[in-house]
Structure 1
Amino acid sequence: MTKPAAGEVFRYPFLWKREQMAGETEGRKTRPVCIAVTVAKSDSETVVFILPITTQPPLPSRKCIEVPQIESQRVGLETHVRKWVMLDEINTDILERSYVWEDRTPIGTFSSVFTSKIQSSLIALARSGGASIVDRLK
């Protein structure tokens, strides 16, 4: 199994925090997501930190990064629609035993510059306690 890398974009049934709080355990639809970080655990498992990509304009209170048109093109997403990588909601999953991540073929990869921007913004937000994590590690 090929392990995902930061910046790769996949289709994944992202579970929003509000859905989890309502008792849901499955994402309502498969959407494009970006792998922000991967962490190798000592037991040979890989934890992935997954950020959703949305076309819905975020509320001003939300933390996100707009996806430049060239990056949308790079990963094979439509370029005529604006998109945002949401930073304030994260799904964590274990690659080797995820029961929801079916298609593990990346649809593309963001540039290293854009990926670094996502990671540094996410780290700053996480340090301030501004991100909600939906733990799907079970």
Structure 2
Amino acid sequence: MTFPAPKPGLVIRYSFLWSHEADAGADEGSKDRPCAIVVAQKQVEGEVRTLVAAITHLEPDDPAAAMELPSAVSKALKLDGARHWLKLDELNRFVWPGYDLRQIPGRQGEYAYGMLPQPLFEELRVKILARNQAGKARTVKRD
């Protein structure tokens, strides 16, 4: 089994655990979904600490809590034809590759959809930092 190298902007298939699920005692995500790697930082021990933001179909109640993926990006990543949002206020942290990295359905041996365009990734990064600094982001630790 060969996993892709973790790098910021890479969209992977991952069993994302929402904070409300973790608060209720769950330690596994209820659904595998595309997620964008926000941070992939190698540690002294050789581990790669990874931070991911979920991609969801659910339109946010608070527009500042998510950013919509342009349809051209969704198409390039081979996501379904529905609208998609990158969540800015819900993150998962884990050691790469972890237990929750999943193969993409119908694409044997593939775990990554592709890369976000650099300007879109930079917008994602800046908005997540702003939400975090405002105390409006939660990170669920999965390791």
- The TM-score, its normalising length taken from structure 1, stands at 0.90
1:92 aligns to 2:93 (yes or no): yes
Give the aligned partner of residue 49 of structure 1.
Answer: 51
1:110 aligns to 2:111 (yes or no): no
Q: Structure 1, residues 11-67: CA drift from partner, whole Å, max 9, x if none?
A: 111000000000000001111111111111111100111110000111127611110
User: Counterpart of 2:5 in structure 1: which amino acid?
Assistant: K
Partner Cα distance (2:30, 2:57) in 1:
16
User: Cα distance, 1:85 vs. partner?
Assistant: 0.2
User: Cα distance, 1:100 vs. partner?
Assistant: 2.1
Whose strand proportion is higher, 1 or 2? 2
Equivalent residue runs for 1:18-29 within 5 Å: 18-29=20-31
**Preserved contact between residue 32 and residue 102 of structure 2 (Cα < 8 Å):** no
Structure 1 stretches of at least 4 aligned residues deviating more than 3 Å after TM superposition? none
Partner Cα distance (1:71, 1:38) in 2:
22
Q: Structure 1, residues 60-95: CA drift from partner, whole Å, max 9, x if none?
A: 2761111011111121112x3111000100000100
When the two structures are aligned, how many residues end up with a matched partner?
A: 135
Partner Cα distance (1:129, 1:123) in 2:
10
Q: CA RMSD in A?
A: 1.6
1:126 aligns to 2:127 (yes or no): no
User: Counterpart of 1:109 in structure 2: which amino acid?
Assistant: M
User: Counterpart of 1:84 in structure 2: which amino acid?
Assistant: W
Q: Structure 1, residues 95-126: CA drift from partner, whole Å, max 9, x if none?
A: 05x12224372111110111111011111111
Partner Cα distance (1:117, 1:62) in 2:
13
- The TM-score, its normalising length taken from structure 2, stands at 0.87
Residues 1:134 and 1:128: Cα distance change in structure 2 (over 3 Å): same
User: Counterpart of 2:93 in structure 1: which amino acid?
Assistant: T
Partner Cα distance (1:130, 1:40) in 2:
26
Question: What runs of 5+ residues in structure 1 fail to find an aligned partner?
Answer: none
Question: What runs of 5+ residues in structure 2 fail to find an aligned partner?
Answer: 104-109
User: Counterpart of 1:39 in structure 2: which amino acid?
Assistant: Q
